[in-house]
Chain A
Amino acid sequence: MSGQQTICGIDLGSRSVKIALMEEKAEGEELEIIRLESLDTIRFYREYGRKQGDKLAVDFTALGLPEVDRLVSTGYGRNTLELAGGEAIPELKAHVWGAIFQTGLQDFTLVDLGGQDSKIIQVQKGRMIDFLTNDKCAASSGRYLENMATILDLSLDELGEYTEAPVELNSTCAVFGESELIGKIVEGFPLPELAAGVNTTIVRRILPLLRSFRGEVIVFTGGVAHNQAVAKLLEEGSGRRIVIPPEPQYNGAIGCCVYATR
């Protein structure tokens, strides 16, 4: 293939579907991001998806996306449905490529905290050498932050401002965590301490998982990476340098596009 090509990368997440549209001006040239789009997962499947045999046909016109040369997908939905007309790649691989593309680093520990999933991947010389993912419990995920922010009546950005004097939240369950937080509100703790408590809880769950992953640098991705407080607490707790790529939430979708050019 020669000349310009447009690539669409889709990350089928548990909470949202992330779409990256990227362009390669000429073969071998650096990819450029043209557009990034995020849609609620349920809405994506309901309004734009249609089952075609055992594959998922997506109405790209309705999505307002142009014709593309390559379509690559990844994500949680990948094992249940494969996108028609596209190629599916393993999720962790997509995230590794996305992170390498976005940071230019070759050796790092990738911490991806998404809507339900937490992933930790060790990358050495540009290759994945070990990984860990959460299971059974999503109490260290974005969904937990969303729920807690709602209870505190804060936006996610506001929630991410607090790190000082965190209240102690011990519940191991995201749902019981809500009632525990309400209990703390009743006890009269100030909002900044409550918010800091929520952010601390996430980091406290991630740190033990990080223990067996060596390395100086953590690349922090996923929607949770938008939370400044979590990033700061993660940096303090792990004693490592944190790098947040420009588009942490679209890392998987960008990785799909990178795959297409390799």
Chain B
Amino acid sequence: MSKIGLTTTVPVEVIYAAGHTPVDLNNIFITGSEAMKRLEEAELAGYPRNVCGWIKGLYSTALQNPDIRQIVAVTQGDCSNTHALMETWEVEGIEIIPFAFPYDRDPDMLRLQMDKLISVLGTTWQDVNEQKKRLDQVRSLAGEIDRLTWEENRVSGFENHLYLVSCSDFNGNPEGFGHEMEEFIQVARMREPLSASSPGAVKGKKREIRLGYIGVPPIFPELYDYLEDHGARVVFNEVQRQFAMPFNTPDIVEQYRLYTYPYKVFLRIEDIAREAERRQLDGIIHYTQSFCYRQIEDQIIRKKLDYPILTLEGENPTGLDARNKMRLESFLSMIED
């Protein structure tokens, strides 16, 4: 049993079925106390300054964790910077296992990709399906946390982000993580609804502003608390929710087809529109990473979604800067008017 790194969400059922432990490198990079240092290390190694902070962070994070000898890297369905990232790791002696989400969501192609992963890691479809049942139980707990966020208003935007985003690897310990979520759910259920106790409500403002957060997870998670200090709460974390795969299907290939993140932006927009309606959002924050190709998609998102949208750009894990705070404040005051 060994640790296998991930560059983003992949069918982790296969890794668990093979008896290994998946490690989402994004999570250990951003929760580490020296995230900015990881980024600087990558620049010292030769990564250009105008490249996504996540790519640079992932690069050094893997090298800092020598027990990770293999990495499943997503070569299609994520950005092409990943290709160069894989190659720079390979130079350092890390074994790379490529995985491609077919752009057209072709089920046969996706099955073939999973087939290859199964054979590389030495497991079987039967074991993979067993693992799906195991992980779906944990995912349903994440689904309950999400429901408590938007329907009962008892969970903060950051808590929602943290539990859902952790479903990319289940912190390497699905039962332990599931137990942690069960305990959290018990506590959250006892809480007073946050919408009644927000500082905004206290300051005599009308009511809590309900926001959707779309795009990759933020490089500055401080965002959530900042919003809550200003009378708004994120009740929908788009991609994080996708990581938790709230899809009601017994078929694992179908599950990874319903997962919107690696495919066309239009699939994501359908999902966002549906959830925005259900969760009664007042506005949407579209987060994009500096230098990311997803910044191009911002224009489509703005065109297709009929909500006030703030496009927020983040570069380094150094907290929310004054400029972004100014933008957030103006956005909230615009919604409030």
Q: For chain B, residues 302 to 337, give those with C-beta under 8 angstroms from any C-beta of chain A.
A: 302, 308, 311, 313, 315, 322-323, 325-327, 329-331, 333-334, 337
Q: Which residues of B contact A (CB under 8 A)?
A: 290, 299, 302, 308, 311, 313, 315, 322-323, 325-327, 329-331, 333-334, 337
Q: Across the A-B interface, give the 9 residue pairs with the lowest CB-CB distance, nearest first.
A: A92-B330, A79-B322, A79-B325, A90-B329, A90-B330, A128-B334, A90-B333, A135-B313, A127-B337
How many chain A residues have a CB neighbour from B under 8 Å? 19
Chain A's nearest CB lies how many Å from the CB of B103?
A: 27
Q: What residues of chain A lie closer than 8 Å to B333, measured between beta carbons?
A: 90, 92-93, 128
Q: How many angstroms from the CA of A92 to the CA of B333 in the assembled complex?
A: 9
- With contacts A130-B308, A136-B290, A136-B313 taken as known, whether A91 is within 8 angstroms of B337 at the C-beta atoms is no
Chain A's nearest CB lies how many Å from the CB of B232?
A: 13
Residue-by-residue, is A104-143 near B (CB-CB < 8 Å gives 1, otherwise 0)?
0000000000000100000000011111110110000000
Q: What residues of chain A lie closer than 8 Å to B315, measured between beta carbons?
A: 136
The answer on a CB contact under 8 Å between A131 and B334 is yes
Chain B's nearest CB lies how many Å from the CB of A144?
A: 17
Q: What residues of chain A lie closer than 8 Å to B311, measured between beta carbons?
A: 132
The answer on a CB contact under 8 Å between A80 and B299 is no
Q: What residues of chain B lie closer than 8 Å to A78, measured between beta carbons?
A: 326
The answer on a CB contact under 8 Å between B313 and A91 is no
Main secondary structure of the interface of A (DSSP, over half): mixed
Answer whether residue A212 sits at the interface, using C-beta atoms and an 8 A cutoff. Answer: yes
Chain B's nearest CB lies how many Å from the CB of A15?
A: 15
Answer whether residue A76 sits at the interface, using C-beta atoms and an 8 A cutoff. Answer: yes
Q: How many angstroms from the CA of A212 to the CA of B300 in the assembled complex?
A: 11
- Cross-chain contact of B302 among A80, A93, A212 (Cβ < 8 A): A212
Chain A's nearest CB lies how many Å from the CB of B319?
A: 12
Q: Give me 26 A-to-B residue pairs in the complex whose CB atoms sit less than 8 angstroms apart, sorted by A's number.
A: A76-B322, A78-B326, A79-B325, A79-B326, A79-B329, A90-B329, A90-B330, A92-B326, A92-B330, A92-B334, A93-B330, A117-B323, A127-B334, A127-B337, A128-B330, A129-B308, A129-B334, A131-B330, A132-B311, A133-B326, A135-B313, A135-B323, A136-B290, A136-B313, A212-B299, A212-B302
Q: What residues of chain B lie closer than 8 Å to A90, measured between beta carbons?
A: 326, 329-330, 333
The answer on a CB contact under 8 Å between B326 and A76 is yes
